[in-house]
Amino acid sequence: MNISKFVSPEIIFGRGSLSQIGESAARLGASRVFLVSDPGVIAAGWVDRALHYLNAAGLATETFSAITTNPKDIEVTEGVERYLASGCDALVAVGGGSPTDVAKAVAILASNGGRLTDYEGINKITRPLPPMVIAPTTAGAGSEVSQFTVVVDTRRKLKMSIISRSLVPDIAIVDPELLQTKDPQLAAATGIDVLTHGIESYVSLAATPLTDIHALQAIRLCAQNLRRVVVNRSDMEANTHMAMASMSAGLAFSNAILGATHAMTHQVDGLLLDQHHGETNASILPHVMAFNMAACPQRFREVAAALGEEVSGLSAEEAALLAIAATRRLIADIGLDLGLAELGLRSTDIPLLSRNAMKDACLVTNPRDATLAEIEDLFRQAM
């Protein structure tokens, strides 16, 4: 008998659910909340809205927003100093993957001490973390439900993955209304991140029947709604479906882990290039799908069906090719069909990136073993 586990936070989903953020934090025993966000989310007005609900619940607050698109260890260090100095006893993140990753990383160091590199990898956190409530403003990272945090190590110039059950937030508040203030490019980039999470977790070596349900749901919802949200940011039906897709994909990859696409994109993002993680995924994902196809063609047949392709009468291999073609079309339709060179990567960077990718935890669950030479070749194909 196969044994597997599935972890998730308490989830509050629906339009207007941000109003529950104060009550949620208070329910966890918070008295002074460290709210992590970023300048864009503050400008959109969501932090003020969250502060209103937190204060209405009788909670004191401290806001920290000195973070960037790909959050860095030095930003986390500043956040920890602010958290400890302010006497906070809980964390709330309002924003996309970056504020959530920083909030989780601050929680680790504030309660466990040391440096972030001490916790890189799987299950290295030993002491309980402060309570965490996460409210995402993007349909992308899925961090509000995951046991991951990913932060740039500025010395090594790579994104380090920290994976632990301790990092699953206590409460995730998923309010589709918060997605309306994303611009079309961010909607496209975060949406491809969702699709990548769905596909990689579905073909992962650690996939289970429970993760499969969420992964396929995420892929279906992306195929049906991502184009719509890029064209019309006020389409609340499509925004709601993409919020559900992101949450479902987060539940899938949190439990099944990911694959070579993320092992590679973590390295590109770590070079401090000023692009969104989803844009990097868009450049690499189709090439990794083609590489992995031989290892699990039936799985990719099911991915093709979830993407809306007609696969009846086709062999698993023929259907798998349709999955790759459909993914390429979706990426092109939302304007992300760019090579890594167009994002700023140099061919001279490939050897270092490839060596670092071989050490990434996400590569362990990729369905096909990859050598250093094969990872280098995939980077070149994606240029």
CATH number at residue 263: 1.20.1090.10
Do 96 and 226 have their domain in common? Answer: no
Q: Give the pLDDT score at 275.
A: 72
CATH number at residue 23: 3.40.50.1970
Give the count of domains, the chain: 2
Cα distance between residue 330 and residue 199, in whole Å: 14
Phi, psi of 115 (to 5 degrees): -120, 160
Do 174 and 287 have their domain in common? Answer: no
Q: Which of 145, 178, 211 is the last residue of a domain?
A: 178
Q: How many residues are recorded in the chain?
A: 383
Do 159 and 258 have their domain in common? Answer: no
Paired strand residues for 207? none
pLDDT (tens, 9 = 90+) of the chain, 383 residues, equals 477 889 999 999 999 999 999 999 999 999 999 999 999 999 999 999 999 999 999 999 999 999 988 889 999 999 999 999 999 999 999 998 889 999 999 999 999 999 999 999 889 999 999 999 999 998 888 889 999 898 988 888 888 889 899 999 999 999 999 998 888 998 999 999 999 999 999 999 999 999 999 999 999 999 999 999 999 988 999 999 999 999 999 999 999 999 999 999 988 887 756 678 889 999 999 999 999 999 999 999 999 999 999 999 999 999 999 999 999 999 999 999 999 999 888 999 999 999 999 999 899 999 999 999 999 999 999 99
Q: 227 is in which domain, residue-wise?
A: 182-382
Torsion of CA 97, 101, 102, 103, to 10 degrees: 100
Q: Give the pLDDT score at 4.
A: 81
Residue 78: inside a domain = yes
Residue 3: inside a domain = no
Do 267 and 363 have their domain in common? Answer: yes
Cα distance between residue 321 and residue 340, in whole Å: 22
Cα distance between residue 79 and residue 62, in whole Å: 11
Do 256 and 291 have their domain in common? Answer: yes
Do 105 and 198 have their domain in common? Answer: no
Cα distance between residue 165 and residue 51, in whole Å: 28
DSSP, collapsed to helix, strand or coil, labels residue 12 as: strand
Do 271 and 369 have their domain in common? Answer: yes
Q: Is 188 in contact with 226 (CB distance < 8 Å)?
A: yes
Q: Give the pLDDT score at 181.
A: 87
**Token pair in block for residue 144:** 């509000």
Q: Is 162 in contact with 257 (CB distance < 8 Å)?
A: no
Phi, psi of 226 (to 5 degrees): -65, -45
Residue 2: inside a domain = no
Please choose, from the candidates 192, 344, 379, 194, the residue with its C-alpha nearest in 3D space to the C-alpha of residue 273.
344
Q: Give the pLDDT score at 274.
A: 63
DSSP 131-195: PEEEEESSSS--GGG-SEEEEEETTTTEEEEEE-GGGS-SEEEE-GGGGGGS-HHHHHHHHHHHH
Distant-in-sequence, close-in-space partners of 184: CB < 8 Å, separation ≥ 6: 230, 231, 233
Cα distance between residue 208 and residue 202, in whole Å: 9
Do 146 and 294 have their domain in common? Answer: no
Q: Give the pLDDT score at 361.
A: 87
Q: Give the pLDDT score at 175.
A: 96
Q: Is 106 in contact with 79 (CB distance < 8 Å)?
A: yes
Do 234 and 377 have their domain in common? Answer: yes
Q: Which of 178, 195, 219 is the last residue of a domain?
A: 178
Do 165 and 194 have their domain in common? Answer: no
Cα distance between residue 113 and residue 349, in whole Å: 33
Do 99 and 210 have their domain in common? Answer: no
Do 90 and 105 have their domain in common? Answer: yes
Q: Give the pLDDT score at 245.
A: 96
Q: Tell me which residue has tokens 């069906």.
A: 305
Phi, psi of 114 (to 5 degrees): 80, -155
Please choose, from the candidates 221, 330, 222, 242, the residue with its C-alpha nearest in 3D space to the C-alpha of residue 286.
330
Please choose, from the candidates 286, 315, 296, 310, the residue with its C-alpha nearest in 3D space to the C-alpha of residue 256.
296
Q: Give the pLDDT score at 69.
A: 81
Q: Give the pLDDT score at 272.
A: 57
Cα distance between residue 349 and residue 364, in whole Å: 23
Q: Is 81 in contact with 66 (CB distance < 8 Å)?
A: no
